Structure 1
Amino acid sequence: MAKVTFNRRTRREKIIQSLFSLSMDDAQSVEQAVLTAVNYNDSSDNDHDFQVADVETLIETIESLNELKIEIDERIQRQLENWNFTRITKIDLAILRLAIYEMFYVSDESVPKKVAINEAIEIAKRYSDDKSPKFINGVLSNLLKKEEV
């Protein structure tokens, strides 16, 4: 197998899979969750043998995101109208957390905010139910509008 690096979409998917896994088993370490996600082979992976640097980048991103989780969750909660935070599915919450992390805690040159929103919507189409892309778009778009004012 040839060693390849993650493309950005695959990187995002592996982070979301890891975040979801961590939300289901809080006794699991970030490293375990990332290795499980990397070793999970779905049709988009094409049986890649990922480089150690890819795994390290995923771990660093998740650890950084976890340090900001309370702040990120507060941003999500402020966007919810007639909706309870605890009703958000774990996969949608993982998608929202990563998108907000990319939108507000990563340089705009690295990940433009609108790209982060679009990627979150596309990933929701793949991993969540039919209503999730619209919900995620609404939360992230409202957040972006309010933050830019």
Structure 2
Amino acid sequence: MNRKKTRELTMKLLFQMAINKEKADVIISNLKENIEMEQTSQKNSTSQIYGENTGDLKNIDIDYVIRVLKGIEKNEDMLNMEIEKYLRNWKLNRLSKVDSAILKICTYEFLHEDDIPEKVSINEAIELAKKYSSEKSASFINGVLGNMIKDEK
């Protein structure tokens, strides 16, 4: 299992949920259907689902993806309030959908995924921001999440 790729896919799916205003169950159902179709088809290994080579999806922790997407959807108001406490002079709805998705995943991990060290969650969030957003966003996300864990201790 590749946790980094798993988080990346989770972020893409959460972004898709936000853009298309879709429910987690719809996204999860589509993901499972696409994976199943790819596994049973005769396509070569360079086929892609959600921007990932299908061969890479074998290493994805689908249980994590499902748990986090459903958990974020179920606890979205609480997660939004938690994040907004640490957004100085900002509102969550003013952030990019990518940055918002990254913050929600990491905040959800802090609160519900006890087996993941907070520093690992923050580092992965920063890497996702660098890849899909900007250096400024990566610094901003680092600050928000750093203050969040500092405050919780």
Alpha-carbon distance in structure 1 between the residues aligned to 2:83 and 2:99: 11
Question: What's the secondary structure of 2:127's corresponding residue?
Answer: helix
**Normalization by structure 1: what TM-score?**
0.81
Partner in structure 2 of residue 130 of structure 1 = 135
Aligned residues: 138
Report the AA paired with residue 109 of structure 2: E
Query: Contact 1:18–1:33 (CA<8 Å) still a contact in 2?
Result: no
1:59-138 paired onto structure 2 within 5 Å: 59-107=66-114, 110-138=115-143
CA shift, 1:93, in A, is 0.4
Distance 2:22 2:74 in 1: 17
Amino acid at match of 2:14: L
What SS does the aligned partner of 2:17 have?
A: helix
Any unmatched runs of 5+ in structure 1? 1-5
1:41 alignment counterpart: 51
Deviations 1:128-147 (A, max 9, x none): 12211001001100111111
Q: Deviations over 1:52-92 (max 9, x none)?
A: x8435422321122111111110111111112222111000
Corresponding position of 2:42: none
Instruction: Determine what percentage of the aligned residue pairs are the same residue.
Output: 34
Preserved CA contact (<8 Å) 1:30 1:59 = no
Is 1:19–2:14 an aligned residue pair? yes
Contact 1:20 1:91 in 2 (8 A): yes
Q: 1:7 aligns with which of 2, 5, 26?
A: 2
Report what 1:3 is aligned to.
Answer: none
CA positional deviation for 1:27: 3.7
| 1:108-130 Cα distance to aligned partner (Å, 9 max, x none) | xx200111111100111111122
Partner of 1:143: 148
Distance 1:33 1:80, change over 3 A: farther
Using the size of structure 2 for normalisation, the TM-score is 0.79
After the TM superposition, list the runs of 4 or more consecutive aligned residues in structure 1 that deviate by more than 2 angstroms: 32-38, 53-57
Residue 49 to residue 125, structure 1, CA distance change in 2 (3 Å) = closer
Q: Does structure 1 conserve the Cα–Cα contact (< 8 Å) formed by 2:103 and 2:125?
A: yes
Contact 1:34/1:59 (8 A) holds in 2 = no
Q: List runs of 5+ in structure 2 lacking aligned partners.
A: 36-47
